[in-house]
């Protein structure tokens, strides 16, 4: 018997057909240039505040190098639940309704794998973080995008959501403030989404990783609305607000039966999040708020400056209410977003992310991260102007 | 508004009026007026640069000097302190609680120059009981600025 299969045949169908994230060729090109000003990053430009870094060092110094409980250190879960109650108005039992994960990405993966039977549908907004459809597929679910529109401030309207609900819908996945649009949800929409979830008996998964970074109004979580705590999985972490992307700490709070299911997968696949990172995260909650607020203020100022300049440049852009992204329309250039980004990179060595990397709903837009030094933002704007790509034809 | 202005200027005295306005939410004109008032009333006494002397090629030396003083019946520590403060060699002078009374920073062009100042001018002042001079070897931080901070850390150029 001769070997008739190639190695790629060994890869499961649903993984082989899964697209790789983003536009590889474009990013490979970015990485070959050394004088690029990149507005293409998805993380803070701050280093983790020193008190948090120092707690990590202290943790290692004391020899805290063993596993923690599968759910995460109880002291951290207690701090998380108290933080969530204080800032988001939803209360959870740290012993059974909270799990510490390796970033929000793991928390979302656990949630989807716990909730979904093969073929069940998850509605999510698009443009969105690149992992969402892939994570749904990896959990054998069916991704059902709802395109959010610039006219609605990139929020999801109850009508658009209702139109996508079918008997196979299991969950709605929200991400506000949104990567890549910076959109937040007006309270009336949030209530309407909650009502639809209750009416159709759906689970709401809410990724609120950018929630501390809202600039114009108080952030509100759907988890805190009446009758929602029991059907909501609240996902959050430390990466964005506390500038801790590389530490990989996130968490999920939700009904104990669902957390229990998530814990099983986490226990078998991961064991526990890194002990050092958990101790640093605890410090972030206990003493990191002042530094966090300073960083937020710095993003707010850069947002105000950058978005105003983008509009003056000829790239219409809504004032994003949260996160650290501006999402201007490039339709006036007469190009599509991938062409626009490639041309801008080639002509002026400025990297932005084509909106279609975040799903077809992002076509015609580009994502610019303003968590970049003011000097670089100014230089990027000057180069964009010089590129001749930004003035409407 | 003035309180925020002071906080921001403490961090960076060269912050532009425009940026100060943006940060305080006041107009440029209001900020200009606020600063003027702070200067006139003597709250803001001046602006100086924070230097990393290690990067300079001159031989200037800096000494921190602890001085014990007999307070005067009239005027306490003030009369001695004010007298010492008038020497241009003394760049900083504070009254301090603890085992000594005044702490001076003295700058000179050489070790010898500072030593001479201490021996012939400072120690001989009526009321000065003792001095203890420490020469600064290296500065790590001043006014919130770390002299040699972490090196630049290369981030991914593109991430989602």
B140: which chain A residues are within 8 Å (Cβ-Cβ)? Answer: none
Whether the pLDDT of residue A22 is over 70: the answer is: no
Instruction: Name the 3-class secondary structure at A251.
Output: strand
Q: Domain for residue B95, yes or no?
A: yes
The confidence score (pLDDT) of residue B157 equals: 86
Average pLDDT over residues A32-45: 92
The confidence score (pLDDT) of residue B160 equals: 86
* CB pairs < 8 Å spanning A and B: 42
Average pLDDT over residues A362-376: 96
Q: Which residue of A has its CA nearest to B21?
A: A301
Q: Which residue of B has its CA nearest to A26?
A: B158
Using a pLDDT cut of 70, give the percent of chain A over it. 98
- The confidence band for A40, taking pLDDT boundaries of 50, 70 and 90, is very high
Q: Distance between CA A189 and CA A14 in Å, rounded? A: 34
Average pLDDT over residues A254-259: 98
B150: which chain A residues are within 8 Å (Cβ-Cβ)? Answer: 47
B158 CB within 8 Å of a chain A CB: yes
B146/chain A closest Cα distance in angstroms: 13
Measured between CB atoms, which of A30, A47, A131 is closest to B158? A30
CATH fold for domain A10-48+291-387 = 3.90.1150
Cβ–Cβ gap B23/A301 under 8 Å: yes
User: What integer best gives the mean pLDDT of chain B?
Assistant: 92
The confidence score (pLDDT) of residue A218 equals: 94
Average pLDDT over residues A220-230: 97
Phi, psi of B91 (to 5 degrees): -90, -30
Probe site for chain B from A25, A26, A38 (most B CB atoms < 10 A):
A38
The confidence score (pLDDT) of residue A2 equals: 60
Q: Distance between CA A11 and CA A19 in Å, rounded? A: 14
Cβ–Cβ gap A41/B156 under 8 Å: yes
Q: Domain for residue B23, yes or no?
A: yes
B153: which chain A residues are within 8 Å (Cβ-Cβ)? Answer: 47
Residue B63 and residue B100 share a domain: yes
Cβ–Cβ gap B160/A47 under 8 Å: no
Q: Distance between CA A45 and CA A23 in Å, rounded? A: 23
Q: Which residue of B has its CA nearest to A367?
A: B160
B22 CB within 8 Å of a chain A CB: yes
A272/chain B closest Cα distance in angstroms: 25
The confidence score (pLDDT) of residue A32 equals: 86
> A206 with A221: CB under 8 angstroms?
yes
Residue B29 and residue B63 share a domain: no
Which residues 34-53 of chain A have a CB within 8 Å of chain B?
A: 36, 38, 40-43, 45, 47
Q: Domain for residue B152, yes or no?
A: no
Domain with CATH 3.40.640.10 in chain A: 50-288
DSSP string over A254-311: --HHHHHHHHHHHHHHT-SS-HHHHHHHHHHHHH-HHHHHHHHHHHHHHHHHHHHHHH
- Shortest CA distance to A237 belongs to which of A52, A80, A55, A75? A80
A130: which chain B residues are within 8 Å (Cβ-Cβ)? Answer: 160
Question: What is the tens place of the pLDDT at every residue in A349-368?
Answer: 999 999 999 999 999 999 99
Look at A20-24, A78-82, A94-98, A266-270 and tell me which has the smallest mean pLDDT. Answer: A20-24
Enter the tokens of residue A263.
């814990």
Cβ–Cβ gap B155/A41 under 8 Å: yes
Residue B15 and residue B72 share a domain: no
User: What integer best gives the mean pLDDT of chain A?
Assistant: 95
Q: Distance between CA A13 and CA B78 in Å, rounded? A: 85
B149 CB within 8 Å of a chain A CB: no
CATH of the domain at B74: 3.30.70.920
Which pTM value belongs to this model?
0.91
B153 CB within 8 Å of a chain A CB: yes
Q: Three-state secondary structure along B24-84?
A: HCCCHHHHHHHHHHHHHCCCCCCCCCCCCHHHCCCCCEEEEEEEEECCECCCECHHHHHHH
Measured between CB atoms, which of A43, A304, A305 is closest to B159? A43
Cα A188 to Cα A50, A178, A220, A231, B138: the distances in Å are 40, 17, 11, 19, 60
Average pLDDT over residues A2-12: 85
Q: Domain for residue B46, yes or no?
A: no
Q: Domain for residue B101, yes or no?
A: yes
B144/chain A closest Cα distance in angstroms: 13
Q: Domain for residue B157, yes or no?
A: no
Cα A29 to Cα A41, A251, A349, A351, A384: the distances in Å are 15, 35, 10, 10, 18
Q: Which residue of B has its CA nearest to A36?
A: B157
Residue B131 and residue B60 share a domain: yes
Enter the tokens of residue B66.
């602890």
Cα A68 to Cα A263, A389, B107, B127: the distances in Å are 13, 53, 55, 63
B44/chain A closest Cα distance in angstroms: 24
Whether the pLDDT of residue A126 is over 50: the answer is: yes
ipTM score above 0.90: no
Cβ–Cβ gap A27/B153 under 8 Å: no
- The confidence band for A393, taking pLDDT boundaries of 50, 70 and 90, is very low
Cα A71 to Cα A37, A105, A205, A285, B141: the distances in Å are 40, 16, 19, 18, 41
Residue B92 and residue B30 share a domain: no
Its domain, for residue B31, covers 2-40
**Domain A50-288 belongs to what architecture?**
3-Layer(aba) Sandwich (3.40)
Using a pLDDT cut of 90, give the percent of chain A over it. 92
A277/chain B closest Cα distance in angstroms: 19
Residue B57 and residue B124 share a domain: yes
Look at A8-12, A277-281, A291-295, B150-154 and tell me which has the smallest mean pLDDT. Answer: B150-154
Residue B127 and residue B78 share a domain: yes
A357 CB within 8 Å of a chain B CB: yes
A338 CB within 8 Å of a chain B CB: no
Q: Distance between CA A339 and CA A355 in Å, rounded? A: 11
* Each residue's pLDDT expressed in tens, for chain B with a length of 160 residues: 899 999 999 999 999 999 999 889 899 999 999 999 999 999 999 999 999 888 888 889 999 999 999 998 888 999 999 999 999 999 999 999 999 999 999 999 999 999 999 999 999 999 999 999 999 999 999 998 998 876 777 788 888 8
A261 CB within 8 Å of a chain B CB: no
Residue B57 and residue B35 share a domain: no
B150/chain A closest Cα distance in angstroms: 10
**Which of A27 and B26 is assigned the larger pLDDT?**
B26
Question: What is the tens place of the pLDDT at every residue in A296-316?
Answer: 999 999 999 999 999 999 999
Q: Which residue of B has its CA nearest to A32?
A: B157
Question: What is the tens place of the pLDDT at every residue in A151-193?
Answer: 999 999 999 999 999 999 999 999 999 999 999 999 999 999 9
B28-40 helix and B2-11 helix, angle to the nearest 10 degrees: 80
Count up the domains in chain B and report the number: 2
Residue B97 and residue B124 share a domain: yes
The confidence score (pLDDT) of residue B152 equals: 74
């Amino acid at each position: 018997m001769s070997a008739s299969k190639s190695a790629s045949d060994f890869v499961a169908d649903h993984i082989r057909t899964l697209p790789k994230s983003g536009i590889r060729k474009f990013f490979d090109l970015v990485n070959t240039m050394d004088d690029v000003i990149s507005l293409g990053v998805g993380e803070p430009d701050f280093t983790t505040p020193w008190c948090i870094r120092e707690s990590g060092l202290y943790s290692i110094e004391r020899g805290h190098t063993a596993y923690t409980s599968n759910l995460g250190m109880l002291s951290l879960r207690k701090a998380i639940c108290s933080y969530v109650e204080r800032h988001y108005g939803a209360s959870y039992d740290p012993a059974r309704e909270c799990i510490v994960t390796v970033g929000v990405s793991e928390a979302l993966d656990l949630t989807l794998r716990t909730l979904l039977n093969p073929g069940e549908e998850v509605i999510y907004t698009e443009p969105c973080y690149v992992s969402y459809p892939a994570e749904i597929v990896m959990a054998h679910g069916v991704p059902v995008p709802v395109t959010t529109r610039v006219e609605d401030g990139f929020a999801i309207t109850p009508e658009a959501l209702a139109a996508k609900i079918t008997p196979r819908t299991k969950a709605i996945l929200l991400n506000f403030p949104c990567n890549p649009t910076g959109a937040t949800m007006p309270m009336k929409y949030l209530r309407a989404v909650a009502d639809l979830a209750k009416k159709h008996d759906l689970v709401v998964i809410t990724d609120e990783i950018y929630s501390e970074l809202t600039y114009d109004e108080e952030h509100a979580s759907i988890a805190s609305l009446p009758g929602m705590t029991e059907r909501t999985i609240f996902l959050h972490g430390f990466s964005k607000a506390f500038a801790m992307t590389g530490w990989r700490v996130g968490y999920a709070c939700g009904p104990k039966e669902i957390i229990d299911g998530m814990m099983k997968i986490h226990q078998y696949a991961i064991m526990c999040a890194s002990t050092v990172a958990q101790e640093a995260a605890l410090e972030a909650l206990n003493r990191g708020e002042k530094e966090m607020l300073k960083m937020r203020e710095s993003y707010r100022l850069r947002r105000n400056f950058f978005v105003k300049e983008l509009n003056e440049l000829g790239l219409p852009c809504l004032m994003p209410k949260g996160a650290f992204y501006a999402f201007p329309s490039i339709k006036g250039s007469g190009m599509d977003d991938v062409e626009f980004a490639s041309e801008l990179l080639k002509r002026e060595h400025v990297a932005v992310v084509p909106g279609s990397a975040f799903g077809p709903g992002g076509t015609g837009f580009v994502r610019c991260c303003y968590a970049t030094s003011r000097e670089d933002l100014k230089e990027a704007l000057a180069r964009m102007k010089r590129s001749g790509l930004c003035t409407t034809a | 508004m003035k309180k925020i202005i002071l906080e921001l200027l403490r961090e960076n005295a060269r912050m532009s009026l425009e940026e100060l306005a943006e940060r305080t939410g006041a107009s440029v004109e209001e900020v200009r007026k606020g600063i003027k008032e702070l200067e006139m009333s003597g709250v803001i006494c001046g602006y100086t640069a924070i230097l990393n002397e290690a990067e300079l090629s001159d031989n200037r030396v800096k000494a921190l000097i602890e001085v014990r003083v007999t307070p005067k019946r009239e005027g306490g520590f003030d009369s001695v302190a004010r007298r010492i403060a008038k020497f241009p060699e003394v760049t900083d002078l504070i009254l301090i609680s603890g085992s000594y009374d005044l702490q001076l920073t003295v700058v000179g062009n050489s070790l010898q120059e500072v030593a001479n100042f201490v021996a012939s001018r400072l120690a001989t002042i009526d009321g000065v009981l003792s001095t203890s001079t420490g020469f600064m070897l290296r500065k790590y931080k001043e006014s919130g600025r770390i002299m040699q901070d972490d090196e630049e850390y290369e981030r991914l150029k593109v991430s989602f």
